[in-house]
Amino acid sequence: MHIISYLKQARKRLNLTLEDMGYLLDMDYSNLAKYEQGKKTPPTRVIIAYHIITKTPLHKLFKYTFLGVMDTISSKATELITQLEEQQKSKPILKRLEALHEVLNNISCLKDLSQDDSYDNKH
Whichever domain contains 34, its CATH number is 1.10.260.40
Q: Can you say whether the dihedral through the CA atoms of 99, 104, 109, 110 is positive or negative?
A: positive
37 and 88 together in one domain? no
28 and 46 together in one domain? yes
The number of folded domains in the chain is 2
77-114 pLDDT tens trace: 999 999 999 999 999 999 999 999 999 999 988 877 66
**Is 90 within 8 Å of 49 (Cβ atoms)?**
no
Q: What is the pTM (predicted TM-score) of this model?
A: 0.61
Q: At what angle do helices 3-13 and 63-85 cross, to 10 degrees?
A: 150
113 and 95 together in one domain? yes
113: containing domain: 63-122
Counting residues of the chain whose pLDDT is more than 90, the rounded percentage is 60
